[in-house]
Structure 1
Amino acid sequence: MIKAYLMYTGNDGDSHFKTGSIAEGALVKADHVLFKETPAHSSFDWHNDPIPQYVITLSGILEFTMKNGKTFVIHPGDILLATDHTGTGHKWRLLNDEPWKRIYAVFQEDAETHFIPDNS
């Protein structure tokens, strides 16, 4: 199983996250793929995720923070399933001296994401 974090908007309007994994061998209906690099020591203040997507980290270690103060750390190879399109949003910052290299895989609205929460 590949480690993953589901980031979503809760009933309270705040962004939250669950830890889990993506089912191995899962095929997901994707619309398009985007490659992006952000310089080391970067950060991005409060924002929402614009579209439902996987964010697959290739390099860089990031800390994501929710409005309630809870955090999680993404390492290379981890997958972020970003679905917090409304509400208070989240912020992130790079923790190490590497740029954040990543792939955005935008999935179709009706796509099965194959996210399996921990302890399910």
Structure 2
Amino acid sequence: MIKAYLLTTGADGHSHVQEGHLADAVPYDVHTVSFKETAPHSFLDWHTAPDTQYVVCLTGTLHFVTHTGEEFTLHPGEVLIAMDITGTGHKWQMQGNDPWRRVYIVFDSAKGINFVPEDDK
């Protein structure tokens, strides 16, 4: 299973995170795919996701925090499903000495996602 974190905006206007995994063999309706690299020791203060997107972490480790104090750490080989495009958002801080290399896959959230929450195992 591929570990995944789902970031969504709740009815309270804040970002919330769920831990889980990606379901197998689900087709995607993809809008764009892009690649990015960020230098080690970088951070990004409070922001929302620019689009509904899968963020596939290739290298680097990041610690995320939401305004409500929810936290998680994204490692290489894991996926962030960023759907908190409104509200108070989240911030991240890189850990370690590796650059953050990732793939952004922008998708249509109306078509559904292949996320299985941890408690549904």
TM-score (ref. length: structure 2): 0.96
Separation of aligned partners in 2, 1:32 and 1:11: 28
What is the count of residue pairs matched by the alignment? 120
- Aligned counterpart, 2:4: 4
- Aligned counterpart, 1:68: 68
TM superposition shift of 1:108: 2.0
TM superposition shift of 1:111: 2.3
- Aligned counterpart, 1:41: 41
Q: What are the superposed Cα offsets for residues 33-84 of structure 1, whole Å, 9 maximum, x if unpaired? A: 0100000000000000011000000000000000112210000010000000
Q: Which has the higher helix share?
A: 2
Q: Secondary structure at the match of 1:119?
A: helix
1:19 paired with 2:19, answer yes
**Aligned-partner residue type, residue 116 of structure 1:** V
User: Mind listing any 5+ residue stretches in structure 2 that lack a counterpart?
Assistant: none
Structure 1 vs Structure 2 CA RMSD: 0.8
TM-score (ref. length: structure 1): 0.96
Separation of aligned partners in 1, 2:100 and 2:47: 18
- Aligned counterpart, 2:87: 87
User: Mind listing any 5+ residue stretches in structure 1 that lack a counterpart?
Assistant: none
Runs of 4+ with deviation above 3 angstroms? none
Separation of aligned partners in 2, 1:58 and 1:43: 17
% identical aligned pairs: 46
